[in-house]
Structure 1
Amino acid sequence: MDDSKRMVDTYEVKHAIHVGDKEILFLVDEKITSCPYIVCNCSWDNPLGVDQYSDAMGSADYLEMMTEFTERVRKQLEAVKAERNKITVPLQPFTLKHCIPSDYKENIENKVVIIRAECLRPEYRTTDKQLVLAIGGFGVHGNSRGRAVYTVNLYSGKESRWNRENILGTLKPEYMPDWAKERLKQIQRERQAKQQKCEQER
C-alpha cells in the first residue's frame, strides 16, 4: 500500500477532483495558521505534461475554502456539459471491432488511429476524443523502443502526445465517418501548407 502523501510545496492535497481539463485541489498546511487552507486548479496542458497550478485562493476559514472547492467542481461539470452539447457528431465510442488491432510491428505514421477509451477521462470517452491522426514520434514506427506518438485530433485539431500502448488500433476505412474524412483532408492540407512554408523559409 502506498502511504505517500501528495504535496504542493508545504501543503498536503486533502481532496482532489478531476473533471474535464482541470483538477480541483483542496490543500492543507495547519502549521501556517494565517492561511492553512488553499484551493487551486491543476492542469497539464504543456509539452512535458507536468503539473501546472493556477488560480490559488487561501483562507483560515475552512468552510469558505470548502465552498470555493465545491463551487469550482460544479463549474467544471457545467463546462464539460456545455462542451458536450456543442459536439455535432455521434458520441458512441469506437471499440475493437472498428479497427485493425494495434500491432507494434506496424508503422502507423500518417494513419488514423483510435485512442483506447479507457485511457480517456470518463467524461471524454466519446468518438470526438478518440479519432486522431498519428503524425510523429518514435512510437509511430514499427518495432521501435520509443513509445511517444504525436497526434492531431480529427474533431478539434488539437495536437497531443500519447504512448503507443494507448492506441487501440488503426481505424478500418469502412468505419470512417464522413465528418472525419473531411477533417482529415483539411488537416492534411494545413500540414502540407505549413511544411511548404517552412521549406521556402530555409
Structure 2
Amino acid sequence: MDDAKRMVDTYEVKHAIHVGDKEILFGVDEKKIDCPYIVCNCTWDNPLGIEHYFSAVGSADYLEMMTEFTSRVTAQLETVKAEREIVTVSLRPFTLEHCIQNDNNQNLENKVAIIRPERLRPEYRTADKQLVLITGGFGARANSRGRAVYTTNLYSGKESRWNREDILGIVKPEYMPDWAKERLKQIQAQRQIKLKKQEIER
C-alpha cells in the first residue's frame, strides 16, 4: 500500500475532488498559524502530464476555505452540465458490442476507434467523448512495443494522446453514427490540407 502523503508545497492534501477538466484540492499545514488552510486547482493538461497547481487561496478560517472548496466543486459540476446540454448528438456510451475488439495484431492508424469508458472520468463516459480518429503514434502500429496513440476526437476536434490499452476497439461500420461520418470527412479533409501546406513549405 502506498502511504505517501500528497503534498502541495508544505500543505498536505486532505480533500480532492476531480470534476470535468480540473481537480479541486483542500490542503492543510497546521504549522502555518496565519494560513493553515489552502484551496487550489490542479490539472495535468500539458505534454508531460505533470500536476499543475494554480488559483490557490489561503486562510486561517476553516469554514471559509471549506466554503471555497465546495463552491469550486459546484462550479465545476455546473460547467460539465452546461457542456453536456449543448451536445447535439446521442450521449449513449459505446461498448464492446459496438466495435471490433482491440488486439496487438491490428494497425489502428487512420481508423475510428472507441475509447474504453473506464478510461474516461465518470462524467465524460459518453459517446461524444469516446469516438476518435487515430492519427499516429508508435502504439497505433501492429505488434508494436510502443504505447502512445495520437487521436482527434470526432465530436470536438480535440487532439489527445492515449495508450494502446485505452482503446476498446475499432467501431463497427453499422454502429458509426451519421454525425461521426460527417465529422470524419471534415477532419480528414482538414488533415489533407495541412499535409499539403507542410509539403509546400518544405
TM-score, normalisation: structure 2: 0.98
SS in 1 for 2:82: helix
What code does the residue aligned with 1:82 have? A
Cα displacement (A) at 1:60: 1.1
Cα displacement (A) at 1:2: 2.1
Corresponding residue of 1:154: 154
Distance 1:43 1:19 in 2: 11
SS in 2 for 1:142: coil
How many residues end up aligned between the 2 structures? 202
SS in 2 for 1:150: strand
SS in 1 for 2:114: strand
Distance 2:134 2:128 in 1: 15
Q: How does 1:188-199 map to 2 (within 5 A)?
A: 188-199=188-199
- Please list the CA deviations of residues 169-198 of structure 1 after superposition, one character each: whole Å capped at 9, or x if unmatched: 001111110000000011011111111111
Q: How does 1:73-88 map to 2 (within 5 A)?
A: 73-88=73-88
- Please list the CA deviations of residues 33-55 of structure 1 after superposition, one character each: whole Å capped at 9, or x if unmatched: 12111100001111222111111
Unaligned stretches of 5+ residues in structure 2 = none
SS in 2 for 1:17: strand
- Please list the CA deviations of residues 73-93 of structure 1 after superposition, one character each: whole Å capped at 9, or x if unmatched: 000011111110011000110
| Identity among equivalent pairs (%) | 76
Distance 1:129 1:187 in 2: 16
TM-score, normalisation: structure 1: 0.98
Distance 1:36 1:142 in 2: 53
User: How big is the alpha-carbon RMSD for the aligned residues of Structure 1 and Structure 2?
Assistant: 0.7
Moved >2 Å (runs of 4+): none
| 1:179 and 2:179 are equivalent in the alignment | yes
SS in 1 for 2:89: coil
- Please list the CA deviations of residues 68-112 of structure 1 after superposition, one character each: whole Å capped at 9, or x if unmatched: 000000000111111100110001100111100001111000000
Corresponding residue of 1:72: 72
Unaligned stretches of 5+ residues in structure 1 = none
Corresponding residue of 1:166: 166
Corresponding residue of 1:143: 143
